[in-house]
Amino acid sequence: MSALATPFAPISAGRKRKDKVMRGLLAAATGVALVPLVLILYYLLKKGAGALSWHMLTSDPTGSFLGDPGGIKSAILGTVTMVALATAIAVPIGVGVALYLVEYGKESRFASVVRYFVDVMTGVPSIVFGLFIYITLVTSDLFSKGYAGWKGAVALSLLMLPVVTRSSEVVLALVPDSLREAALALGAPRWRVIARVVLPTAAPGLITGSLLAIARAAGETAPLLFTSALVFGTSFDLGHQMNSMPVQIFNDVGSARSEIVQRAWGTALTLVVMILLLTMAARLIARRSRVS
């Protein structure tokens, strides 16, 4: 009947091979992409776990060339303090701008311009933000010359701002209009609708976005290099130089003393653990609640 043994002329071996090879390559590439993560975590644990100790976490770095190099207490406290201040600045402003864009800015040209600028801001390198603060606050006579913890916090908040704004805008826009209309139809004024309906509904998403921004800010070094700088002693005085974990690591990396280098690993491990915890918390909150 038919000339062939089967009507399904098998596809050429070349095509079959190519398919297999390419699929294998794609899978291999994925594996390659994941190797660095594994390696980094491995080395962090291997070299950093040994450095961790109660002493290390609770004493300040001494900055001395010989003798006990000290721990990283001031770095940890400095990071926590400055990031907290940065959050207190960036989150209200960021959510505020996002609220503007969603509630009032649906059609306005001005809002599109703002949105575009914020979007572009997310791509600005962190060192440029540090530079901004350096020339406007550190070297100018505006408040007081010199490095200060609060200036570092402001630089961090600049970094966080576009991230918080963008993620908040997405979350706020997901709140269904029907909820707003129901509240408005009951006679509630706009501000109350925002405060009582929109914000609470969007809260989990807003928190997630903020946590991720915090995680990012906690790891930043460049903006702090010339705003809060490096100092060894602990202080909560935001008006003066303040230590932070990333800057401490940066300082310790090139040290000739192996204990200090190991301290850098330990600090790095602590920092990464902190950031991972923040990231996981953000994911958990995001997963537990979805705006339907």
Partner 1 sequence: MSMTTINPPTTSTTPLPTEQPTQAKAVELHGLRAFYGDKEAVKGVDLTFAAGQVTALIGPSGCGKSTLVRCINRMHEEVRGARAEGNVTLDGHDVYASGVDVTAVRRAIGMVFQKPNPFPTMSIRDNVASGLRLTGRKGRDLDERVEKALRGAGLWDEVKDRLGDPGAGLSGGQQQRLCIARTIAVEPEVILMDEPASALDPIATLRIEELVGELKARYTIVIVTHNMQQAARVADTTAFMLNGELVEHDDTQKMFTKPDDQRTEDYVTGKFG
Partner 2 sequence: MSALALSLPSRARYPDRALRWVLTALAGGILALIVFFFIRLISEANPAFSHFGVFDFVFRNDWDVSRSVYHAAPLVVGTLITSGIALVIGVPIAVAAALFLTELCPRRLRSPLTVMLELLAAVPSVVYGLWGFLVLAPKLKGAEHWFGSTFSFLPFVGPDVPGPNYFIAGLILAIMILPIVSAISREVVATVPGEHKEAALALGATRWETIRMAVLPYARPGITGGAMLGLGRAIGETIAVTLVIGNAPQIGKTIFSQGYTLAAVIANEFGEAANNQLHRASLIAAGLVLFVLTLLVNVLARWFVVRGTRGRVTKA
Q: Which stretch binds partner 2 (CB under 8 A): 59-67, 121-129, 196-204, 233-241?
A: 121-129
9 binds, among partner 1, partner 2, none (CB under 5 to 8 A by kind): partner 1
- Counting contacts by CB under 8 A, is residue 13 touching partner 1? no
Closer CB to partner 2, 150 or 265, in the complex: 265
Instruction: Report, in Å, the least distance between residue 6 CB and partner 1.
Output: 5
Residue 36 CA to residue 122 CA, distance in Å, equals: 25
Closer CB to partner 2, 15 or 257, in the complex: 15
- Counting contacts by CB under 8 A, is residue 6 touching partner 1? yes
Instruction: Report, in Å, the least distance between residue 9 CB and partner 1.
Output: 6
Q: How far is CA 184 from CA 77, 95, 106, 164, 194, in A?
A: 46, 21, 18, 27, 10
97 binds, among partner 1, partner 2, none (CB under 5 to 8 A by kind): partner 2
10 binds, among partner 1, partner 2, none (CB under 5 to 8 A by kind): partner 1
Q: How wide is the angle at C-alpha 216 spanned by C-alphas 91 and 226, nearest 5°?
A: 90
Residue 120 CA to residue 234 CA, distance in Å, equals: 37
Instruction: Report, in Å, the least distance between residue 222 CB and partner 2.
Output: 4
- Give 46's Cβ-side CA count (13 Å radius): 6
Q: Which stretch binds partner 1 (CB under 8 A): 7-15, 123-131, 147-155, 234-242?
A: 7-15
Instruction: Report, in Å, the least distance between residue 154 CB and partner 2.
Output: 11
Q: Work out which of 113, 176, 182, 196 binds partner 2, going by CB under 8 A.
A: 113
- Counting contacts by CB under 8 A, is residue 2 touching partner 1? yes
Cβ–Cβ under 8 Å, residues 186 and 145: no
- Counting contacts by CB under 8 A, is residue 284 touching partner 2? no
Tokens 């209009």 locate to 177
Minimal CA–CA distance to 119: which of 158, 168, 163, 171?
163
Q: Which stretch binds partner 1 (CB under 8 A): 5-13, 59-67, 86-94, 270-278?
A: 5-13
- Counting contacts by CB under 8 A, is residue 215 touching partner 2? yes
Residues that bind partner 1 (CB under 8 A): 1-2, 6-12, 15-16
